[in-house]
Amino acid sequence: MSHDGRSSPERAAIDRLIAAGRYEEALAGLRAAANPSTTWPLQADLLKLLGRLDEALALRVAQAKARPISSVSEHNLAALLGDMRRHVEAEAAVRRAFEKGGDAPETWLVLARSLAGQEKYDDGEHAYRQAVARRPAYVEALRELAQLIWMRTADAARALAPVREALDSAPGDSGLRGLLGLLMDYTGSAPREVWGTLVEGGVRNPAIDLAAANAALSFDLDLALDHALTAVAGAPGHPVVALKLAEIRLARGELDHVSALLAGTVRPADDQNWLSLQATYERLSGASDGLALNDYDAFVQGGLIDTPEGWSDLTAYLDDLAAALRRLHTFRTHPVGQSLRHGTQTQVDLKSSDDPAIRAFFVAIHGPIKSYMERLGAGDDHLRRRHTGAYRIAGCWSVQLAPNGYHAPHVHPEGWLSSACYIDLPAAVDAGGREGWIGFGAPPFVCAAPTPPEHFEKPEPGKLVLFPSYMWHGTVPFSGEETRLTIAFDVVPA
């Protein structure tokens, strides 16, 4: 929540509503307070959770004006502007926070993000290092610093150096050790080496055991299970820990255990990660709760986007869009924690772009999205029951895969519908071997029974594929010398 030390008499009751996920009621309670301006920081936090960023921003601006000497108010304003990808304004707010005496590592982190968002990468790296200098074990700043170095250089040793240095000074810090394991995983280390790093410090807590279980999943299922059970004992009922245990049980073919976990774990009803596990369980067991999670004919839809006004045809538009996107692909390799391997991903939300071709993309996809939603219709299943008839784009980015690049199977936890839109494609897509195609249904771990993709969609320039965010999806690697340029976005009900 906000970087603000004040509280209000209503805070205890509000906290209970927030803990229960009743954000609208909590917001109403804050606004009804005797002196609601004292709760502006918390109101802004709740508005952000509800996706009402413009309203949250209005409160942040009002707070900064009401407290003209407060560095904290400027920090909070800067942080929200950064979340909204308004990086120039975020940087200006951070500079004002510094002028007013702010020097917290969190404020340096906000500055680093705003500079990186403006592609001022040298300055951004310096700001990340300033945050770490003020808090040497600052895991969040170290993660982003290491990722920036990795994406710019593709040099694993350089990227991991700041984290190794911090861990040398605090070898018992499980947060740093977990971060090092994560970074090793995404910069090319073998799973057994990642596992060794995680357990080397001798610290056993649910987070470390969870990461160790994930690493061991690919080379020793007994070891993976041991770590997962230890994590569950340390964090009983935690849905993330139970989710990893369910994955391992699926990999071991222990379907009765999976059924019990699916039935007994308290979790949000529409959690995309759990729905993906439910779908895999249904595939392997033949059992179904009647929700048809794996109905690809009903839920996967592909078709061409519209040609936006101002372009003579779709080919001309895609040419301009491809040129605009390639200007944003300035890194050398993939980010940490994402599905892609051997390629680059834009780090700015395309919704904030001023480029005419990129802005026109959101017009070009409106018709296909509405068509998908109309075809979907109403119903009681996990997808249709969230259908409101209206939507918003929750995030939008571009990926450029290099030859031999691919997406590992994954889901989109923050989405309702997800997408792949093909802008420029390698010739290998048409070679007859499904190279570069998107496949659905294969989980990212090996199961006791074979689970290859059950459905494929062939890419073509201008084709938009829409599908539920819970569906496992990945990309077949492709050969040749050309790249594969796409846009992806998530849709949520509005």
| Res 3: pLDDT | 46
363 pLDDT more than 60: yes
Q: Which residues contact 360 (CB under 8 A, 6 or more apart)?
A: 308, 309, 310, 311, 317, 321
Is the pTM of the predicted complex or chain greater than 0.85? yes
Is residue 483, in this structure, part of any structural domain at all? Answer: yes
Is residue 415, in this structure, part of any structural domain at all? Answer: yes
Number of structural domains in the chain: 1
> Could you identify the residue written with the tokens 């496992």?
472
Is residue 10, in this structure, part of any structural domain at all? Answer: no
Q: Which of 199-208, 230-239, 303-312 has the least mean pLDDT? A: 199-208
Q: Which contiguous run of DSSP H or E holds residue 306?
A: none
For residue range 453-493, list pLDDT tens digits in order: 999 999 999 999 999 999 999 999 999 999 999 999 999 99
The enclosing domain of 472 has a CATH number of: 2.60.120.620
Is residue 454, in this structure, part of any structural domain at all? Answer: yes
Is residue 412, in this structure, part of any structural domain at all? Answer: yes
Is residue 468, in this structure, part of any structural domain at all? Answer: yes
| Res 2: pLDDT | 52
6 pLDDT more than 60: no
For residue range 269-286, list pLDDT tens digits in order: 889 999 999 999 999 998
| Res 104: pLDDT | 98
| CB crowding 442-473: b at 16 or more within 10 Å, else e | bbebebeeebebebebebebbbbbbbbbbbbb
For residue range 25-63, list pLDDT tens digits in order: 999 999 987 788 888 999 999 999 988 999 999 999 999
Residue type, position 73, single letter = S
4 pLDDT more than 50: no
Q: Which residues contact 117 (CB under 8 A, 6 or more apart)?
A: 82, 85, 87, 90, 347, 348
Contact 461, 422 (CB under 8 A): yes
Domain containing residue 476: 296-493
Is residue 359, in this structure, part of any structural domain at all? Answer: yes
Is residue 55, in this structure, part of any structural domain at all? Answer: no
Please state the separation of Cα 345 from the chain's center in Å.
12
CA–CA dist 12, 33 (Å, integer): 13
Class of residue 55 by CB neighbours under 10 A (exposed 0-12, middle 13-18, buried 19+): middle
Contact 293, 279 (CB under 8 A): yes
383 pLDDT more than 70: yes
Q: Can you point out the beta strands (E) in 94-243?
A: none
Contact 121, 145 (CB under 8 A): no
